[in-house]
Amino acid sequence: MTQEHMVLDGTQKAFMLGYLENLALVERLHRLLLDVIKDEFERLRILEINSVQALLLFNIGENEVTAGELKSRGYYQGSNVSYNLKKLVELGYMHHQRSEVDRRSVRVKLTEKGRRVRAVLSELFLRHADGLARRGVTAASGMEDINQALKRMERYWTEQIRYIY
């Protein structure tokens, strides 16, 4: 039965509408986060990298990783991560080194320049967390509830990709 032919009762319809609103909010929040980072970088005159690249630096942190590890953790997709890692190496935000074990694999880690950008994002996120708490947007328990619900959705989507298709 296709979706067009499904008849939903009131509870199912309400759930479906809530689910669609969740999807729209997740997408909008991600785009908005990128805009917030872009605005912060423009204010600080950090203009040679974009928001996606800055988040990549933030998520790598003090780790030494491969593009494959970033993809497997679910942070980034395919060629997008490879392109951005290459660009960040060229601009001096990351070191890269061939793996001793697998010569095809390149490991990357932040340079001092990359750690400075990561610190800018850390400070930005700290200000945001403080502002959310001070304004009473949500309490710590509310934040945890949101995180748990999103993790359950993530697990469900991951299962759909791995086991159904």
pTM: 0.83
Return d(Cα 32, Cα 50) in angstroms, integer.
14
User: Residue 164 — very low, low, confident or very high, per pLDDT cuts 50/70/90?
Assistant: low
- Which pLDDT value is given to residue 1? 47
Distance linking the first and last C-alpha atoms of the chain: 18
**DSSP bridge pairs for 110:** 94
Whether the predicted pLDDT of 5 surpasses 90: no
Half-sphere exposure of 130 (CA within 13 A, CB side): 6
* pLDDT tens for each residue of 99-134: 777 767 788 999 999 999 999 999 999 999 999 999
Return d(Cα 46, Cα 43) in angstroms, integer.
8
- Mean pLDDT over 23-51 rounds to 96
- Mean pLDDT over 141-164 rounds to 89
Which amino acid type is present at position 159? E
